[in-house]
Structure 1
Amino acid sequence: MTNSNSHVLIIPYPAQGHVIPVMELAQRIIKQGVKVTFVNTEVTHKLVTTNWLDENGYGDLMQMVSIPDGLEPWEDRSDVGKLTLSVFQTMSNKLEQLIETINNKVNNKITCLVADACMGWAIQVAHKMGIRNATFSPASTTTLAAIFCFQKLIDDRIINENGVPLKEDMIKLSENMPPIKSANLSWTCFKEVETIEAIFKMCVGAKEAYDITERFICNSAIELEPAAFGLYPKLLPIGPLLASNRLGYQAGHFWQEDPSCLTWLDQQAEMSVIYIAFGSFTILNHTQFEELALALELSNKPFLWVVRPGLTKECAPSYPKGYMDRVGSRGRIVSWAPQQKVLSHPSVACFMSHCGWNSTLEGVRNGLPFLCWPYFGDQFHNETYICDIWKIGLGFKKNEAGIITRGEINDKVEQLLSDKTFRDKALVIKENVTKTVRDGGQSYKNLSNFISWLQEAVDAKDEPHVSIEHEDPKHPIVRV
């Protein structure tokens, strides 16, 4: 199916955990013949295009462009507060100029703008320019729900008007949702007040986008977070959006994947390997890194460990003396892995994860039990769902010095892998989320309806929103 009149501009927040799912959404849209212009910041654009493989032959249907993020080339993009403020201050005008340039030079003008929820200001640009628009959340819906209630948190004096915590409280959004610590809200987990205020401003923008956007789609499933979707029925679940769902290549990586680890996995026994990966932001100090390394040695189990550039505070990770010789071929260490392929490999027994939402969805989709090692923000929400709601994983306890010891790690590995209940429950959830993304499933229907809406040539501003049909009888049908 093709529609030469439809041209969608998509813009993610400039972070690895955002670019990958937004890129996956773009590929779903392109597959239906809709042209996409994918807008990254200049730095992110360079990283993504360096590792981009157009194996699906999208050709002219996929155009990747960039605009400045406002920072100088040498400035640190891992300073999230500084990056976010710069994005707010500079990118709105740049995006507007880009759209004007495209519309002036190309017959196929932009017909819709789809913005990452963390780039809510882009929805304001769409409104200003009279372009239909949609918002996409790559995070969990529970995270969104916590963001959307910020005004009540201000009124209850849990946070001030700039988002800074005023007291330690447990927040319960509904009876069917687990409590959240005020210190673990997605914007309160940073040490610097300036960073908290910058991220809070971004969160306020996400709520403003929710209020005015024409469609708000989420990379989640009603089967995973029914209570959160019940609070905000305008949110449409279309996930999990994974390359494995379309049997395709996962795009959007900032680092080059090492596919040789798949050959190593082929040589391991079924359900024997511990897979360890902490995403793109987690940083471990030397003591913690060494404790983890020694715990993997102590486990006496094969392990595949992603030690990305920047995982440790030192310039390069420092392993215990003689470590590599003692571990030998039982351990495989790579700088970046083709994670979806790894997690679907029959040799993998469990996933030691930072609990980022992308990794959570990838582990759930493959029926794996988790060892949870959250680092900041929404990762703590996701850990709660994994351990307390879905009951498919275990968390770690830190000692008085704030370190997760080798003994604690080894004990939890033994507990998780010796109790078949964790995997059995994970397989049930896998079956549910597999059904929802297949033809006839609710996420499949919502995504199909959304793409059909993108393909329409008429103005959709006055149309009713797509219905959400909850198949679970405990959650009645909600229509907007």
Structure 2
Amino acid sequence: MSVDRPIFKFFMEEFEAIIRASIATRFPKIYTLGPFHALLKSRAGDDVTSSVSSLRHEDRRCMAWLDSQQLGSVIFVSFGSLAKLIHVQLLELWHGLINSGKPFLWVVRSDMLSSEQDATPVELENGTKERGFIAEWIPQEEVLAHKAVGGFLTHGGWNSTVEGIWAGVLMLCWPQLADQRVNSRWVGEGWKIRLDMKDTCDRSKVEKMVRTLMEEGDRRQLIFKSVDNFAKLARHAVSEDGSSYKNMEKLIEDLN
């Protein structure tokens, strides 16, 4: 039995044609409108900025720091607005970033720790001063689009995933909660556009995975080709002859 109710999917027909076709057998009216943040900008022009949807004050000093870094050298680290870490997880991640030897921009929210914080080891403070920048919140879309950013360590939230694809940035995922594990497995193993740290995180694993993502090698090249292809599909989808742009036109027409 088909149901004549509209379904809005904030991704693209080009990515999910098989899933869309299956859903359409019961819900014929499907409007695939993703990547929605990019579609909105393509229609509204310069009137829409990333700050419109920002949840917190953005520390824009990070952009000047990125300007001082080499092309594609920085690993950007963010776990979104909800995920929490215990102190030992934060320290293991921090050690791994320092030990990787790569410059890093890391979003550490003041409410991110779910346990009491002990004193920060001196070696972490010194390592961060040498090649790191830590901020409470940043303009994520701008950061991902910056030429210095060569990798994105993310929690696997859908918004961050889509923004990473749009920017064509190589991704490494450490899922935390909700849909993030499913997102990570699907995007990593299905689309093959990012590496997956699974559910555990220690300093040696972080170091190894960051190096794999950021340094030349067969695995990096495979992911880069996939991400580049998906980024091109995403950009076409929101262009005037793309599926998402046309579906938005159809939605507006159907609502009138």
TM-score range, shorter chain: 0.7 to 0.9
Moved over 3 A (4+): 210-213, 243-247, 314-319
CA distance in 2, matches of 1:322, 1:414: 20
Equivalent residue, structure 2, for 1:249: 49
CA contact (8 A) 1:397 1:408 kept: no
TM-score (norm 1): 0.48
Out of 406, 421, 426, the position equivalent to 2:203 is 406
CA contact (8 A) 1:219 1:240 kept: yes
What amino acid is the match of 1:249? T
Equivalent pairs counted in the alignment come to 241
1:443 and 2:238 equivalent?
Answer: no
Equivalent residue, structure 1, for 2:14: 223
CA contact (8 A) 1:306 1:336 kept: yes
Shift of 1:391: 0.8
CA contact (8 A) 2:72 2:150 kept: yes
CA distance in 2, matches of 1:343, 1:428: 17
What amino acid is the match of 2:189? D
> Which structure: greater helix fraction?
2
TM-score (norm 2): 0.87
Shift of 1:333: 0.4
Change in 2 beyond 3 A, CA 1:360/1:397: closer
Cα deviation per residue 1:425-446 (whole Å; 9 max; x = unaligned)? Answer: 1111100111011101011000
Shift of 1:260: 1.3
Shift of 1:448: 1.6
Structure 2: gaps spanning 5 or more residues:
none
Kindly report which structure 2 residues correspond to 1:36-47, keeping only aligned pairs within 5 A, or say none: none
Equivalent residue, structure 1, for 2:83: 282
Out of 69, 82, 85, the position equivalent to 1:268 is 69
Equivalent residue, structure 2, for 1:428: 229
Cα deviation per residue 1:34-82 (whole Å; 9 max; x = unaligned)? Answer: xxxxxxxxxxxxxxxxxxxxxxxxxxxxxxxxxxxxxxxxxxxxxxxxx
Kindly report which structure 2 residues correspond to 1:259-408, keeping only aligned pairs within 5 A, or say none: 259-314=60-115, 319-397=120-198, 403-408=200-205
Shift of 1:416: 2.0
Shift of 1:275: 0.4
Shift of 1:409: 0.9
Q: SS of the counterpart of 1:224?
A: coil
Q: Which moved more, 1:443-452 or 1:241-250?
A: 241-250
CA distance in 2, matches of 1:287, 1:323: 13
CA contact (8 A) 2:31 2:251 kept: no
Kindly report which structure 2 residues correspond to 1:227-242, keeping only aligned pairs within 5 A, or say none: 227-233=18-24, 234-242=29-37
CA distance in 2, matches of 1:433, 1:295: 32
Structure 1: gaps spanning 5 or more residues:
1-209, 457-480
CA distance in 1, matches of 2:239, 2:20: 20
Cα deviation per residue 1:322-361 (whole Å; 9 max; x = unaligned)? Answer: 4222321410001111000111111111110111110000
CA distance in 1, matches of 2:8, 2:128: 45
CA distance in 1, matches of 2:36, 2:10: 6
What is the aligned-residue identity percentage?
32
Change in 2 beyond 3 A, CA 1:325/1:385: same
CA distance in 1, matches of 2:16, 2:121: 42
CA contact (8 A) 1:353 1:370 kept: yes
Shift of 1:278: 0.5
Shift of 1:319: 3.2
Q: SS of the counterpart of 2:81?
A: coil
Shift of 1:386: 1.8
CA contact (8 A) 2:87 2:116 kept: no
What amino acid is the match of 2:210? V
CA distance in 1, matches of 2:71, 2:155: 24
Shift of 1:211: 5.0
Q: SS of the counterpart of 1:394?
A: strand
Q: SS of the counterpart of 1:242?
A: helix
CA distance in 2, matches of 1:333, 1:261: 8
Change in 2 beyond 3 A, CA 1:368/1:236: same
Shift of 1:212: 6.6
